[in-house]
Amino acid sequence: MDRIKIIGGSKLIGSIPISGAKNAALPLMIASLLSEGTLTLKNIPHLADITLLSRILGDLGANITIDGRGSQGVDDEISGVTMHINVPKISNFFAKYELVSKMRAGFWVIGPLLARTGRAKVSLPGGCAIGTRPVDLHLKALQELGADIKLEDGYVNAAAPNGLKGARIKFPKVSVGATHNILMASTLASGQTIIENAAKEPEVVDLVRCLRAMGANIEGEGTSVINIEGVTQLNSAEHTVLPDRIEAGTYAMAVAMTGGSLTLMNVNGKNLQYPLNIMKAMGVECLEHSNNLHITQSNNNLKPIDIETNPYPGFPTDLQAQIMAMMTQADGLSRIRETIFENRFMHVQELARLGADITLDGDMAIIKGVTKLQGAQVMATDLRASVSLVIAALAAKGETIVNRVYHLDRGFEDIEKKLSRCGAIIERLTD
Ligand code: EPZ
């Protein structure tokens, strides 16, 4: 199994092109199931989750072709690819356990399958081990759209033989995935659907833009109420995946820890406003200039701060582990309240191996800084936890080995290449 070796202590100086967002690319790829036409997606990152979803879609009847790297003109070596997905016919409405159990987003095929064919049998999902992660909101909303849902042997068996019918759906809590799923399903439902308490994440907005390019009739994305007027068919379209705000935030926090100066290229700073404001309050210089973000950390005195994770536009749970690593270098006590996932503190004990002083009290982590981090063997339990260990290791003295790198490969494209070209000493060890 691959591992990553890092010798900490080097400042990060240089520029990093930011990839297309994994969490936008996945629902965008799934949207291809809604149309007989071809969906062309530009700026798709090269990640294990994308490969896995391609296999799930392939099983359902998708033909997928990919143009070579470098087609974005940003950076020939490090840039996304263009993917063409064509699903002339759904050849199979069955998404199997072996694939869907590896990735939560795989479950989201259920909405589009039902909308297009009136049938879907999809395994209950898996994904990062960060909480119980039920799918009750998805299922209840699909029932409200008229689907008959049965749970059998770990599968959701859903049918809507007369098609889905528009409805008013009020989510009791904000769910990114349920918003994606119901948005896609309702584009082909008859009549109007209103989603209340919808997720406002930029990735939801990106999905709506793509669905609109395919011919869907949607209003209100980016607000908590989204209106969808069903249409009878969607068509071919082309769409560029938005930049990955979590990847950008991660590298910003890395340089805040190591010191130095990074230019993050191809970033939409607006989508990162909350975390950038927190970093500024901690003493990091963050400047936006067109599509670039310049992050500079010249004095090493970071200030402590208290934060809590929240749905967008609040502080993203997907940057919680990374800012926790950063807080180990702040001068005093910082606190994080995790409000989205009840079990998303698995990185705490691994950061402790590097010397971090963190105590847990229910949904709250209390981080005492400044600690001098020291390299060690560490192991990651999920994607964002892994990267928090990588950025902590960059600031630690000596050698760190990060085990279970496959988590990282699910969500961070070319991480060793991007960091080493900015002065980090980092390499992948393959056994
Ligand atoms: C998406 O997961 C992201 N995944 C996650 O990123 C991200 O952490 C999360 O949104 C929150 O921002 C993708 O986009 C592929 P939710 P999702 O439904 O959709 C509860 C990463 O590292 N809930 O918004 O699965 C749920 O348990 C990943 O890239 C229900 O109770 O998250 C959680 O407490 C990890 N019932 C809360 O809602 C449901 O039916 C928010 O989850 C659905 C969700």
Task: Map out the domains of the chain as residue ranges.
Answer: 3-18+243-429, 22-240
| CA-316 nearest atom, ligand 1 | 12
CA distances from 286 to 96, 273, 392 (A): 45, 10, 20
Report the atom number in ligand 1 closest to the C-alpha of 384. 22
Q: What is the 3-state secondary structure (H, E, C) of 237-259?
A: EEEECCECHHHHHHHHHHHHHHC
Catalytic residue list contains 128: yes
pLDDT number for residue 1:
81
> Which ligand 1 atom minimizes the distance to the CA of 138?
40
Expressed in angstroms and rounded, the spacing between residue 313 Cα and the centre of ligand 1 is 15
Q: Is 342 in the pocket of ligand 1 (CB under 6 A)?
A: no
pTM of the predicted protein model: 0.96
Give me the pLDDT at residue 272, please: 97
338 lines ligand 1 (CB under 6 A): no
The DSSP element (H or E) to which 141 belongs, if any, is: helix 136-144
Q: Whose CA is nearest to atom 43 of ligand 1?
A: 135
**And the tokens for 291?**
């599509």
* Closest-lying ligand 1 atom to the alpha carbon of residue 26: 15
Cβ of 334 below 6 Å from ligand 1: no
Please give the distance, rounded to the nearest whole angstrom, from the Cα atom of residue 424 to the centre of ligand 1.
32
Cα 350 vs. chain centroid, distance in angstroms? 22
Atom of ligand 1 nearest to the CA of 311: 12
pLDDT in tens, the chain (431 residues): 889 999 999 999 999 999 999 999 999 999 999 999 999 999 999 999 999 999 999 999 999 999 976 544 445 455 689 999 999 999 999 999 999 988 899 999 999 999 999 999 999 986 555 456 789 999 999 999 999 999 998 899 999 999 999 999 999 999 999 999 999 999 999 999 999 999 999 999 999 999 999 999 999 999 999 999 999 999 999 999 999 999 999 999 999 999 999 999 999 999 999 999 999 999 999 999 999 999 999 976 899 999 999 999 999 999 999 999 999 999 999 999 999 998 799 999 999 999 999 999 999 999 999 999 999 999 988 899 999 999 999 999 999 999 988 889 899 999 999 999 999 999 999 87
Determine the distance separating the centroid of ligand 1 and the alpha carbon of 279, expressed in angstroms. 24
Distance CA 201, CA 221 (A): 9
Closest Cα to atom 6, ligand 1: which residue?
Answer: 318
133 lines ligand 1 (CB under 6 A): yes
Structurally, what CATH architecture does the domain formed by 22-240 represent?
A: Alpha-beta prism (3.65)
**What integer pLDDT is reported at residue 381 of this predicted model?**
82
Q: Is 394 in the pocket of ligand 1 (CB under 6 A)?
A: no
Is the separation of the CB atoms in 346 and 311 below 8 Å? no
Q: Is the CB of 411 under 6 A from ligand 1?
A: yes
**398 C-alpha to ligand 1 centroid (Å):** 36
Residue 72 has what pLDDT? 47
Q: How far is the CA of 69 from the centre of ligand 1 (A)?
A: 30
Q: Do residues 149 and 181 touch, judged by C-beta distance below 8 A?
A: no
Considering only CA atoms, which residue is closest to atom 21 of ligand 1? 318
- Contacting residues for 193 by C-beta, under 8 A, at least 6 apart: 145, 166, 167, 168, 169, 182, 186, 227, 228, 230
Alpha helices in 188-236 (DSSP H): 202-213
d(C-alpha 156, C-alpha 169), whole Å: 20
Q: Say which CATH topology domain 3-18+243-429 has.
A: UDP-n-acetylglucosamine1-carboxyvinyl-transferase; Chain (3.65.10)
The verdict on the CB of residue 177 being under 6 Å from ligand 1 is yes
CA of 246 to the centre of ligand 1 (A): 14
Helix 136-144 × helix 176-187 angle, to 10°: 20
Fold match between 3-18+243-429 and 22-240? yes
177 C-alpha to ligand 1 centroid (Å): 6
Q: How many CB atoms lie within 10 A of CB 361?
A: 9
